[in-house]
Structure 1
Amino acid sequence: MTAVPEVAVRVRRLNRIFPSKRGPGVQALAEVDLEVAPGEFVSLIGPSGCGKSTLLRLIADLDTPTSGELTVFGKSARQARLDQDYGIAFQQAGLLPWRTVAANIELPLKLHGADRTTRRGRVAELIELIGLKDFAGSYPDQLSGGMQQRVAIARALAESPRLLLMDEPFGALDEMTRERMQDELVRICAETRAAVVFVTHSIPEAVFLSDRVVVMSPRPGRIADTVAVDVADAARDDALREDDTFFRSVAAVREALHGTPATSSRPSASSGRGARGVENR
C-alpha cells in the first residue's frame, strides 16, 4: 500500500484580524483553506491588500493567526521555523553589504552552529547552483539586482529547506532580468525539489512558474479560485511564454481575478509538480 505523502502546508479556516483603536479591527484574511504538496509550486495572486503577504508571513511564523489551523509538514509554524524546514526570500535581497557573496550565503549556517567544513562545502554547492562561482568573493554593491536576488535565494536554501517562501522576489527587477530570474528559479526548484509558496502581482509570472495559481479576493482575503497550469517541468522554458497553454492559463487567471470562475482549469487533488515529485521520490 502506497503511503500518503506528507502535506507541506495545510491551512484550515484561517483568519487574521489586525486590532484597531478606532473600531473592531481590520480583517486581512477570512476562512482561508489551502494545501501545498511536497515539491509543488503554488503562487498567490490577487489585488493589493488582499492578504497574500499576510498569509505568507503566517506560514513563516512572522505573524500569528487570529483563529484557524496552520501546519507546515505536520508541525506548528513555530516548530517548522525552529527546525529550519523553510527558507524565505523577499522583494529586497537584504544582503549584508560588508559580507561577500559566499559569506552572505554562509550566514544562516554559521548562526545555527554548522562547522566550518560543512559551511564551506554547502556554500560551494549553492554558488555553483546559482551560477555565481566567479563572484564568490564579490560584495553586494558589485552585483546586479538579479545577481543579488540569486544570492538571496541561495541563502534561503542554505539549510536545505523542504519549503521555500517567496514574497515578490523579482518585483523590483526590469522585465528582461525578471524573466531570466524566473528561468533560474525553475531550474533551482527542479534540482532542490523544494515546495514553493510564491507571492506575485504578475499573472504571466505566476503562470510560468506555478503548478497552481491561487487567486485571492479583495480584503478580507479569501481563496476565490484556483487555476492549474498543466505543463511538464521540462517545458518551462522561453518557448512556453509563446505557447497556447501559457496564454490559456493567463486568460484563466485573469478571468478568476475579475470574478469569472475558471472552473475548467481547477486542479485535481494530485495535479502539479508536487504530485509528480512525490511519485519520483
Structure 2
Amino acid sequence: MHTVAILALDGTVVYDLAVPVEVFGRVRLPDGSRPYRVRVCGTQPDVPTAACTLHAPWGLEALAGAGTIVVPGREEDAGPPPERALEALRDAAARGARIASVCAGAFTLAAAGLLDGLPATTHWAAAARLAELYPRVEVRPDVLYVDNGQVLTSAGASAGLDLCLHMVRRDLGSAVAADAARLAVAPLEREGGQAQYIVHERPPVPRGSRLEPALSWIEDHLGEDLTLDVMAARCGMSTRTFGRRFREQTGTTPLQWLLRARVRRAQYLLEHSDHSVERIAGQAGFGSATAFRERFKRVTGTTPQAYRAAFRGGAR
C-alpha cells in the first residue's frame, strides 16, 4: 500500500488539505481494495488555521515512510514554515519520495529548496510573490500544474484536484483515475484538453553525475532502439546498478524517463513541424503510430492531434 502524507502546518488552508485527503482516500482498485494509505502529519497534534483547528494524528516522522507527500497552501500571514518541517521535506526528497504542492504550498517547497532550478506554479495571485522571494524558481503562472517527475506543483485548489488525479493516473492508470474523478464529481481532463496547461520537464540530475552525458546522448538518439542494456552500457554500468542509481538521482526509472523524453520530443515536433503523426512516431522512437498515440495520451492526457490543434491553431 502506498502511503500519502499530507503536511499540515500552522495556517494551512483547509480546502487545500481536503483535496488530497478526499482524492487519495477515495481511490479504489477494481477488486475494491484501497491502494493508498492517507496520513495527515504535522509538527504538532493540533494545527490552528483561520477557519478551525485541524488534528494531525501523525508527526513529521511519518513523512519518512511516505511514497508521496502533499503540501497544502498556507495563509499569507502564517509566517515561515518551521525549519524542522523543511528538513523533513529535504530528507524525503533525498530518498526519492514524490513531493507535490497545492496552491501556495509551492512556497513551502521553495523554502525547502526543492524548486531551485525547476519550473513551478502556484495560484496566479501569488505567482509574482513566489518569483520575487525565490528567484531560482522558474515560475509558470499560466499553467494548471507542473510535473517535474519527483516534484510537482499546482495552481489553485481546483488545479490541486487535477494534479491529484494526474498522480493517481500515473500510478494506477486511467481507468482507476477516471473512477476517482467520478467520485470527486470532476472531469479527468479539463475542457479543451489538459495538455496545453501542463509542462513536462526532464527530471533533474545532480551536476557532475555520470548520468549527465549519458542522458544527453540518449536524447540525441531517441529514434533508436534504446533498451535498458543499451542505456546502462552507455554509462559503463551493469543494468542493475544503472537502474538503482538512475532512480536515486532522478526520482524515476530509466524507462519512465525515456518515455517522457520521447513525449517531449514529440511535443516539440507537433508544435514546430508539419510532419505527420506517423513520421513523428518514428522520430521520437515510438516505433508505430498506434504506440505513439497510446503513450502520448497516457503521459499528457490528450491525443497528438488535439495537442497539435491547441498549439498550432488547427489539426493537421
Which TM-score applies when normalising by structure 1? 0.32
By relative contact order (CA 8 Å, sep 6+), the higher-ranking structure is: 1
Larger Rg: 2
Which TM-score applies when normalising by structure 2? 0.29
Structure number with the higher strand fraction is 1
